[in-house]
Amino acid sequence: MKPIECEGCPLYDAPGPVAGSGPPDASICFVGEAPASDEIASGLPFTGGAGRVLSVLVRKAGGDRNYCWIRNSVRCQVPGNDMGSYEHAEAAIQHCSENFLIPELEESPHVKVVVPLGNSANWILTRRGKVGEGIYNFRGYPYVDPVYKFIVLPTIHPAALMRDRTMFNVVVTDLRKAFRIANEGYKRPPEEFQIPSTPFEVEAAVETLLQAKVPVTIDIENPNGQLVVLGFGIMSLCHVCAFRRRVRRPLLENRRRGGAGDCGDQSTPCVAGRARRLCNSSNTRGFG
Ligand code: SF4
């Protein structure tokens, strides 16, 4: 017999529920997707293959899963264990999380960081991305919502690492960050933005980046094959953006974040030349 809160949930007749694990005073909570057969049998989350991977990840990040909360977005088993193709996925996640997971997190005075493992949990906690889609665009970046008393830091689901271990160390790094925030609190790194207003200022700023002996990031936005934005940065300390086209909305959005200036079409040739040199220099790394 399921509790009254379950009435109306698409998974009402599915096997479960499997609640959570972890001590009442845990400061970090991992949130997966749904229990599978191993979890239904044990009555505990993450006790199958993905659970073993999670234990290793947590240990390598310097933690111990016995001192963490472990939860799922839904507490009952999804047909075929495949949330991505389950037609009522969003309704079930919303119903279960809003009745159990989110109230539990909000009522805890101890939880400082919540780590969505995969996009189901990320979607319900941040309303970003889509259920069944990849989480690569969101992983590793702390998400601050004034509604929550905790920071959300999404990463890749351990089950995905069972299929492809390429991102294993990336997830360990994400979890290290999560433990650090849980122990020390979250401080947004100081940022220094440069807003060039002329092509000459852009050229000077890019030249400064060329001289720097630290990794430089370049962000190239080219929707529909047209170059719209070139962004350059040194770690999180300095950012320069140059716009080829006067695209109103991105410009406003970037200005609101304090990170961009519109240099106009004239700046493109000089910036593009410097960008080529930056791309070829040994201190440059590119991100998509
Ligand atoms: S998924 Fe959650 S809300 Fe739905 S039936 Fe199971 S425990 Fe209840």
pLDDT digits (tens, 9 = 90+) for 179-230: 999 999 998 766 666 666 676 777 777 777 777 666 667 777 776 776 666 7
Rounded to whole angstroms, the Cα distance separating 152 from 62 reads 19
Any atom of ligand 1 within 6 Å of the Cβ of 75: yes
Rounded to whole angstroms, the Cα distance separating 172 from 178 reads 10
Predicted confidence at residue 196, as pLDDT, reads 66
Predicted confidence at residue 227, as pLDDT, reads 67
Predicted confidence at residue 174, as pLDDT, reads 95
Rounded to whole angstroms, the Cα distance separating 215 from 213 reads 7
Please state the atom number of ligand 1 nearest to the C-alpha of residue 16: 6
For a ligand 1 pocket test, name from 1, 76, 90, 97 the mutation site with the most ligand atoms within 8 angstroms of its C-beta: 76
| pTM (2 d.p.) | 0.72
Q: What is the mean pLDDT of residues 166-170?
A: 93
For a ligand 1 pocket test, name from 75, 102, 104 the mutation site with the most ligand atoms within 8 angstroms of its C-beta: 75
Question: Which residues make up the CATH 3.40.470.10 domain(s) of the chain?
Answer: 4-184
Any atom of ligand 1 within 6 Å of the Cβ of 125: no
Q: Which amino acid is at 183?
A: N
Q: How far is CA 102 from the centre of its chain?
A: 18
User: Whose CA is closest to atom 5 on ligand 1?
Assistant: 12
User: Whose CA is closest to atom 6 on ligand 1?
Assistant: 76
Cβ neighbors of 9 (< 8 A, separation 6 or more) are: 76, 91, 92, 95, 96
Please state the atom number of ligand 1 nearest to the C-alpha of residue 3: 8
Any atom of ligand 1 within 6 Å of the Cβ of 67: no
pLDDT over 70, % of the chain:
72
Residue 267 has pLDDT above 60, yes or no: no
Cβ burial of 81 (10 Å; 0-12, 13-18, 19+) is: middle
Q: Selecting from 3.30.720, 3.30.1370, 1.10.3720, 1.10.3470, what CATH number does the domain 192-287 have?
A: 3.30.720
Angstrom CA distances, 72 to 9, 18, 34, 148, 256, stand at 15, 8, 5, 18, 35
Any atom of ligand 1 within 6 Å of the Cβ of 124: no
H/E run at residue 188: none
The SS3 assignment for 117 reads: strand
Predicted confidence at residue 240, as pLDDT, reads 56
* Lowest mean pLDDT segment, chosen from 46-50, 78-82, 183-187, 275-279: 275-279
Predicted confidence at residue 19, as pLDDT, reads 95
Question: Which residues make up the CATH 3.30.720 domain(s) of the chain?
Answer: 192-287
**Ligand 1 geometric centre to CA of 72 (Å):** 11
Any atom of ligand 1 within 6 Å of the Cβ of 71: no
Residue 265 has pLDDT above 50, yes or no: no
Predicted confidence at residue 219, as pLDDT, reads 72
Q: What is the mean pLDDT of residues 127-141?
A: 85
Residue 24 has pLDDT above 50, yes or no: yes
Any atom of ligand 1 within 6 Å of the Cβ of 88: no
Domain 4-184 has CATH 3.40.50.720: no
Whether omega for the bond prior to residue 17 falls within 30 degrees of 0, making it cis, is yes
Any atom of ligand 1 within 6 Å of the Cβ of 17: yes
Q: Where are the beta strands (DSSP E) in the chain?
A: 28-32, 69-72, 113-116, 151-152, 192-193, 216-221, 229-234, 238-243, 284-286
* Lowest mean pLDDT segment, chosen from 60-69, 140-149, 248-257: 248-257
pLDDT over 90, % of the chain:
59
Q: Give the model's confidence band at 247: pLDDT under 50 very low, under 70 low, under 90 confident, else very high.
A: very low
Q: What is the mean pLDDT of residues 39-64?
A: 97
- Please state, rounded to an integer, the average pLDDT across all residues of the chain: 82
